[in-house]
Amino acid sequence: MEKELAVLIAKLQGIAQTGKTYAKDPYDLERYDELKQITGQLAKLLYPTIPDDRLTVYLSADDGYATPKVDIRAVIFDQQDRLLLVQEKSDARWALPGGWADIGYSPMEIAEKETFEEAGIQVTGDRLIAVRDKAKRDYPPALIYTYKLFISCLFVEGELTSGLETSDVRFFSRADVQKLALSEERNTYADIEMLFEDHFSPHKERINCD
């Protein structure tokens, strides 16, 4: 029970923090401040011995110890050795299905969820292919320090269809990907090459991340 409550409190904190970041209306900002205060009260009830300074850091992560955000990317190949990519509505560029990790989900569950939401098919997470520090790779500059996880997924069922954040979804051959305009904030050509190399490798190390 304690574990489940802790996850729910973490979700509330995430909603409050995200809301304060993006909300413009002063009444909305006031509500998110109130939600953050309630989250702190619930955390204090669950962990009565937690020091006040530690609780402040927990509720206001940007003012406390900064940690990298986690970006999950799903890697799905079809029987013709083609890679699944989605076209993002935000920039009309192509990317692997994926997004920020959500509280309460494992990395594999995020890969499965994002693939269904963005590409319309159900997949099952198979193995972790790579973890990359975005700041130490050839990605465009970004203010948010991010680790990227590439997770191999296996097709289960469904038909390709775009989602709320995507305008198109297709499988592409290795050669065809090189002709695309990639959303390089999400994945670079080097990432794609790495994924094809892994796909064709006869020796695949199995690293679970569920």
How high is the pLDDT of residue 63? 41
Mean pLDDT over all residues of the chain?
88
Task: Please give the C-alpha separations between residue 64 and each of 13, 46, 58, in angstroms, as whole numbers.
Answer: 14, 21, 8
Q: Is 107:137 a contact under the CB 8 Å cutoff?
A: no
Lowest mean pLDDT among 61-70, 130-139, 168-177: 61-70
How high is the pLDDT of residue 44? 86
Helix (H, G, I), strand (E, B) or coil at 152: strand
pLDDT in tens, 16-50: 888 878 888 888 888 988 988 898 888 888 888 88
Rounded to 5°, angle at Cα 102 from 96 and 103:
155
Whether 152 has a pLDDT exceeding 90, the answer reads: yes
What mean pLDDT do residues 162-185 have? 95
Q: Is 165:88 a contact under the CB 8 Å cutoff?
A: yes
Q: Which pLDDT band, with edges at 50, 70 and 90, does 6 fall under?
A: confident
pLDDT > 70: percent of the chain:
91
Helix (H, G, I), strand (E, B) or coil at 197: helix
Cβ contacts of 188 within 8 Å, gap of 6 or more: 137, 138, 139, 182
What mean pLDDT do residues 60-79 have? 77
How high is the pLDDT of residue 208? 65
Distance CA 168, CA 84 (A): 11
